[in-house]
């Protein structure tokens, strides 16, 4: 299945993936981030219960230097 | 706030939070996280701004992150909405920031109007501030030096008003001290000059006018020696604050009052 992550198309095996699995695959475990699915923020406490499917638009953000 | 009643330690109080420094600094444009941290240390700032951006998906697991260099037990983060040109973008960014920072709700709202000047779009700013405040955020707001807009932003509940000295990144200093004075005179929340400071004397002038603090990034990060400039800015802000509290003498075109005694002259 294909999903849009931070504006880029990414290909994944299967028809769905949990948010926790996605974070692991992206090497983001232990990092500070916030995640949004189709414009809705997903609480860090509920990553296991959220599934991503074909065509979902996912944003994963962090803090960077800025003024 | 123009009154000179200061708390015992003269802390900066924003939305009930107390800070020991009146200098707020940004974390952008440095060569490295190490240099960022060294500049923050030299500035002795307690509030540091951060931007919210998409994470780099190709990163290795051990790639360092900014927040590891400025831990939350030492500093208060001020997530900003730099790069947002609409209220919707700004609101979305700050809601993500709140999730990122485990419910932290003190934020810097800026909604820009133009990519060339980065001048604030005050209409979008007001719209965003109203929604964010209703949503439980403590909003420190970047705005123009228009006293009417500044008062409106306070009236809708912003916890600090942050007028520009001059355009973001310009280093042009305070272009309209008279407007800043009016904003300070009318405000009942902290007024913090944000943007346009170029060197230490600009920060001192802002504080002498009665600003409660100064927020800057480029003036430090793009100095030839950012660490030394951070130290200079710390002293400049403290110096200006002390001069404001001390109360300057009246200006006179000339004085018939010499500093040395007029009696006992050797004749």
pLDDT under 50: residue ranges of chain B: none
A62 touches chain B (CB under 8 A): yes
The string of pLDDT tens digits covering residues A19-33 is 999 999 888 888 899
Q: Do B99 and A6 touch (CB under 8 A)?
A: no
Query: pLDDT tens-digit profile of B121-177?
Result: 999 999 999 999 999 999 999 999 999 999 999 999 999 999 999 999 999 999 999
A38 inside 8 A of chain B by CB = no
Give the CA dihedral B235, B237, B240, B241, nearest 10 degrees. Answer: -110
Nearest-by-Cβ selection for B49 from A27, A33, A67: A67
Query: Which CA distances in Å does B71 have to A12, B21, B37, B66, B77?
Result: 35, 17, 10, 9, 9
Chain B positions touching A61 (Cβ under 8 A) are: 52-55, 96, 100
Q: How many CB atoms lie within 10 A of CB A1?
A: 15
- Inspect the interface and report whether the beta carbons of A66 and B60 lie closer than 8 Å: no
Strands (E), B130-184: 138-143, 160-163
Nearest by Cα to B194 from B49, B74, B31, B88 = B49
Question: What ipTM was estimated for this complex?
Answer: 0.94
Q: What is the pLDDT along chain A (67 residues), one digit of tens a residue?
A: 999 999 999 998 888 999 999 999 888 888 899 999 999 999 988 888 899 999 999 999 999 999 8
Cβ distance of B80 and A66 shorter than 8 Å: yes
Q: Does A67 lie at the interface with B, CB-CB under 8 angstroms?
A: yes
Out of B61, B82, B99, whose CB is closest to A67? B82
Structural tokens at position A28: 């983001």
List the catalytic residues of B. 108
Pick B28's closest partner by Cβ from A8, A33, A67.
A67
Residue B239 DSSP SS3: helix
First to last CA, chain A: 38
């Amino acid at each position: 299945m294909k999903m849009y992550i931070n504006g880029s198309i990414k290909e994944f095996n299967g028809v769905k993936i949990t948010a926790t699995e996605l974070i692991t695959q992206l090497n983001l475990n232990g990092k500070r981030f916030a995640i949004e699915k189709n414009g809705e923020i997903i609480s860090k406490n509920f990553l296991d219960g959220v599934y991503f499917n074909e065509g979902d638009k996912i944003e994963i953000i962090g803090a960077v230097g800025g003024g | 706030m123009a009154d000179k009643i200061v708390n015992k330690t003269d802390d900066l109080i924003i939305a009930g939070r107390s800070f020991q420094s009146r200098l707020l600094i940004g974390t952008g444009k440095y060569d490295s996280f190490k240099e960022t941290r060294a500049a923050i240390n030299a500035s002795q700032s307690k509030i540091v701004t951060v931007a919210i951006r998409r994470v780099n998906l190709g990163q290795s697991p051990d790639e360092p992150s900014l927040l590891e260099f400025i831990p939350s037990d030492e500093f208060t983060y001020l997530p900003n909405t730099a790069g947002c040109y609409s209220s919707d973008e700004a609101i979305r960014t700050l809601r993500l920031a709140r999730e990122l920072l485990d419910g932290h709700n003190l934020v810097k709202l800026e909604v820009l109007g133009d990519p060339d000047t980065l001048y604030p779009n005050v209409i979008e700013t007001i719209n965003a501030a109203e929604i964010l405040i209703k949503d439980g955020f403590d909003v420190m707001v970047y705005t123009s030096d228009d006293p009417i807009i500044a008062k409106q932003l306070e009236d809708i509940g912003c916890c600090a008003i942050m007028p520009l000295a001059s355009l973001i990144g310009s280093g042009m200093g305070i272009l309209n001290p008279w407007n800043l004075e009016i904003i300070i005179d009318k405000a009942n929340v902290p007024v913090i000059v944000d943007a346009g400071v170029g060197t230490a004397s600009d920060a001192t002038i802002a504080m002498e006018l009665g600003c409660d603090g100064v927020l800057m990034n480029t003036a430090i990060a793009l100095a030839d020696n950012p660490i030394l400039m951070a130290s200079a800015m710390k002293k400049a802000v403290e110096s200006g604050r002390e001069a404001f509290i001390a109360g300057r003498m009246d200006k006179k075109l000339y004085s018939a009052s010499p500093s040395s005694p007029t009696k006992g002259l050797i004749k």
